[in-house]
Structure formats: structure tokens, C-alpha cells
Amino acid sequence: MKTAVQYEESLRQLNFKVYLQGELIENPVDHPIIRPSMNSVKATYELAEMPEYEDLMTAVSHLTGNKINRFCHLHQSTEDLVKKVKMQRLLGQKTAACFQRCVGMDAINAVDSVTYEMDKKLGTNYHDRFNSFLLKMQQEDWTVDGAMTDPKGDRGLGPSKQADPDLYVRIVEKRDDGIVVRGAKCHQTGALNSHWILVMPTISMTQEDAEYAVSFVAPADAEGIFYIYGRQSCDTRKLEGGDIDVGNKQFGGHEALMVFDNVFIPWENVFMCGEYEFSGALVERFAGYHRQSYGGCKVGVGDVLIGAAALAADYNGAQKASHLKDKLIEMVHLNETLYACGIACSAEGYKTASGTYLIDLLLANVCKQNVTRFPYEIARLAEDIAGGLMVTMPSEKDLHHPVIGKVVEKYFKGVASVPTEYRMRILRLIENITLGTAAVGYRTESMHGAGSPQAQRIMIARQGNIAQKKELAKAIAGIPAKG
């Protein structure tokens, strides 16, 4: 396994082409806006080195029998699925941000079972190709970015009906040695902190969309791939040189638009090439795994936010107020409900034909449906407890100013025994998670990541088995089965 230091150095060896605020960035690793997101991924390597976290952060490879980072692992049991959620909660607690490797972990698990079933039915050899890549991924401890979401253009039209055919990633040429692809993937979490990109179709395809039914891997810095870095609320605070106003100086996340400008993919790296009838299964399984993930990572960040709100109450001198105690209890209740859903869909998982374990898809979708709501309420309660000062207090520079610093210190103090700086720090942390850069991962990603709320409701409708429930009611009520 890579050490945290080795991971950082491995990124420096890559030749990314990334644009940020209209400029081509020469050194993404050390750029002050990007660096905190790299630190979050780095934590997944750092914790894996610690004996006290070995059980959660590492696993035994089913390919080699060697110890590997759990983010490179295919789930071999329901215990693995449960440990995944616990690991994600731990990392959320340690970073209070998106640590970005979940998408790739969920992608490899989905691609594994689907390629196995594809080969069995069609006589292709995609699964062997995938296993060859997975072996290298485990040996090199690569961070892999799972790339699913296309720009989509006009949502009322399918991929092949778009005015611009590149609004979904597609195959533009098939050659003896591979394929050439063109298009883009949006909202790519942690792409610039990844070694490889694993591309999947974004929706279930039809025969007329066969050229869009494609899955493959490519080096993150491959020829023809470039990135446009996404803006985040309050992101330029990272350029100011301080550490209070950013709220979370060390850790963060990032999103990017990933563009494929006629990228060549050798056949050994292609896992789907026109087999449109399997695109739906791949989308469904990846989405299920990723919806399970949110029952871990968002809960860990929620733990930090609940702690910050409790400290804000302490520093405000309001910790004994019964209504604040009740709000903290409600925050814990909502957070643990999310965790319970993540654990439940894991414990109810089952073995697929390839041997990899899949979560209970219904419960995974219920988990994510709750995630689209509960973090927003937790954030609202945190803002309620924190008070208006969270968004009206002066800057860190004002606090340290030789003339007005003492005024800030005097008039923004809460409890006399608590330094004003501590109060400002905890309020900035709450602001960061609820309104600032971390709100991308904790709020908006909770809404739209792994599919928007309606996507889960569609899956719940499919898997809810209303017909069986009708029969249960008939039996209890004494109505004949055909009545």
C-alpha cells in the first residue's frame, strides 16, 4: 500500500491539464484552492497506515491474498459492506469534508459484477480485462475516479437525439487497437487527486444509443483529457493566507468538468463497447453502492457539525437552554437514522454471480432519499444554534489588527473564559459546512449526488413490491388472493 507521502508524490508525477478561474494551472497539488481536497484523499492513505484503524481502512484482496487499502477492494461479504460504511463515517469525522475515493470504490464493485454477467451472456472478455486493471489498482494503491454523469443537454432527449452529439460520452471510432472517445463528464469529485478515471454510462441506453454505451479506464492525465475546475462558495478565502475564515483550513473537496477530446483507449482498458442492454444494470448497481456510501460519509461530517453546534452553544453561554438541548438531540437522531440506513442496506446485501456482494438496493435508495433531506435539517438547526454572528462577524485580519483587534476581541466575546478567537473559529467551521466550500459535499451533494431525489423515488417504486404487500393485506383481511 502507498503511504500518504508516496501518494502525494505520485500526484506530482502526473501531467494534468487543468483550468482554474481562467488560468492553466501548472502545479495542482500545491495550489491553495486545490490543496485541501488533496489532503482529504491523503487522509485515506494516512489512516490506513495506523494500526488502530487497520480493520476498517484495509482489507484482504480476493485476487492476491495481500493486505490492500479498502478503497481498492471488492466486497466479499456483508461484513465488508458494513465496514465500508463505518470507514466512511470515520473519514468524515476526520476531515469534515468529501474524501473523494468512494466514487471509484463504488464503480469498481459495480463494473465487476456487470462485466462478469456480460461475458457469461455474450461471450465477451470484459471481466478478464477488468480484473487485470483491478490487480494493478490494488498493487499500486491507485485512487480511481468513477465518472458517470454526462452534461446531458436537453433532458427531454436521449443521447443520440441531442443537437450536439458530444453531450454524452461516446465512441467516435473503433480501431484494431482500441477505441476513440469524445464528450465530457460533469461534477467529477476528486478527479485531480486521482491516478485513473473509470468511465461508465450515465443512463440506461437503447439500441439507437449504442455508441454511448461505453465503459473504460484511462490515466487521469491521458492525452486529450483536460479539466475545468468548479467554483465553490467562499473558495477564494483560501487565497487570503489565514486559517480562521476558511473554517476548515486543512481539508476540502473539489468538483471538475472532465473533457475527453478524442481520447484513445486501448482494448485492454475497455469494459463495455456498445452492449447497451447492460448499461442499465451498471447504472443501477453503481448508484446503489454510492447511495449506500452516503449513509457513512455524510454521517461523519454530521458528527463534526453537531459537535461544532454544541460548542457554539457552550461559547455563547446557552448550553443549559432546554430548547438548544432538544435541537442537539434532534440533530443526533437524524444523523443516526442516516447511519442506520447505511448499515441496514449493507447487512441485507447479497452475493452476485461474480462473487462480489451487492447492497440491498431498496434500502440503499431509502438511505439516499433520507440523505436528500436530513443534512439540510441538521444544517438548519446548526445555524439556529450558532446565531447570526456566524455570517456577520468581521474577518480574521480584523481580529489581529493592531488598532481594531482589541475592539473585535472585546465586543465579539461570548463566555468570558473562552477566547474570542475560539468562538470565531467554531462559527467559521459551521459556516464552512453549511454555507461555504464544504456545503458542496454536505448539502448540495446530499441532494444531487448519486442521483437526485426523484431517481431514488423511481427505484423505490420499482423495488417496493406493492403487489406483495397487497397480498399480505388480503390474507389478513380474509380476502381471496384473486379477490
Active-site positions? 98, 102, 189, 255, 290, 294, 297, 445
Instruction: Please list the alpha-helical segments (H only) found in 18-125.
Output: 35-46, 54-57, 78-95, 102-122
- By the 8 A CB rule, do 301 and 211 touch? no
DSSP class of 68: E
Angle, in degrees to the nearest 10, between helices 322-347 and 374-386:
160
Instruction: Please list the alpha-helical segments (H only) found in 317-419.
Output: 322-347, 361-371, 374-386, 389-392, 396-399, 405-411
- By the 8 A CB rule, do 474 and 481 touch? yes
Q: Which three cell numbers stand for residue 140?
A: 499500486
The helix or strand, by DSSP H or E, that contains position 422, with its residue range, turns out to be helix 420-434
* Residue 296, helix vs strand vs coil: helix
Question: Measured between alpha carbons, how far is 379 from 306 in angstroms, rounded to an integer?
Answer: 9
- By the 8 A CB rule, do 198 and 136 touch? no
* Residue 196, helix vs strand vs coil: strand
